Chain A
Amino acid sequence: MTIGLNDYLVLSTLLFAIGFFGVLLRKNTLVIYMCLELMLVATTLALVAFSRFNGTLDGNVFVFFILTVAAAEVAVGLAIIVALFRRRQTVQVDELNALKN
Chain B
Amino acid sequence: MADILFYLFAAIALGTALLVVVSKNAVNSAMFFLLSLMGTAALFVLLDAFLLAVLLVLVYAGAVVALFLFIIMLLDMQGGERKPFKRTTMVASVIAAILLGVGVLGFIQRSQLSHAPAGSDVVAVGATLKGYAAQLFTTYLLPVQIVGFLLLIAMLGVIVLSKRFEGLEDVK
Q: Residues of A with Cβ closer than 8 Å to B?
A: 1-11, 13-22, 24-28, 30-31, 33-35, 37-38, 41, 44-45, 48-49, 51-58, 60-61, 63-65, 67-76, 78-83, 85, 87, 91
Nearest CB in chain A: distance from B47 CB, A: 5
**A63, B122: Cβ atoms closer than 8 Å:** no
**Which of the residues A17, A67, A75 comes within 8 Å of B55, measured between beta carbons?**
A67
Residues of B within 8 A of A65 (CB): 140, 143, 147
Given contacts A45-B43, A53-B116, contact A17 B100 (CB under 8 A): yes
Q: Which residue of A lies closest to B32 (CB)?
A: A34
Q: Would you call A9 and B113 a contact (CB within 8 A)?
A: yes
Q: Which of under 10, 10 to 19, 20 to 34, or 35 or more describes the interface residues of B?
A: 35 or more
Consensus secondary structure, chain B interface: helix
B55 A24 Cβ-Cβ under 8 A? no
A residues within 8 A CB of B117?
53
Cross-chain pairs A/B with CB under 8 angstroms, 10 sampled: A24-B93, A26-B82, A27-B82, A30-B26, A31-B29, A53-B116, A53-B118, A64-B136, A73-B154, A76-B158
* Shortest CB distance B42–A (Å): 11
Pair B122/A55 contact, Cβ less than 8 Å: yes
Nearest chain A CB to B50's CB is how many angstroms away? Answer: 10
Q: Is the beta-carbon distance between A55 and B77 smaller than 8 angstroms?
A: no
**For residue A70, which residues in chain B have a CB less than 8 angstroms away from its CB?**
59-60, 64
Given contacts A25-B90, A30-B71, contact A10 B49 (CB under 8 A): no
Bound complex: CA A28 to CA B26 (Å): 8
CB of B92 within 8 A of chain A? yes
Give every chain B residue within 8 A of A35 (Cβ-Cβ).
Answer: 20-21
Q: Which residues of chain B come closer than 8 Å to A71, judged between CB atoms?
A: 59, 63-64, 151
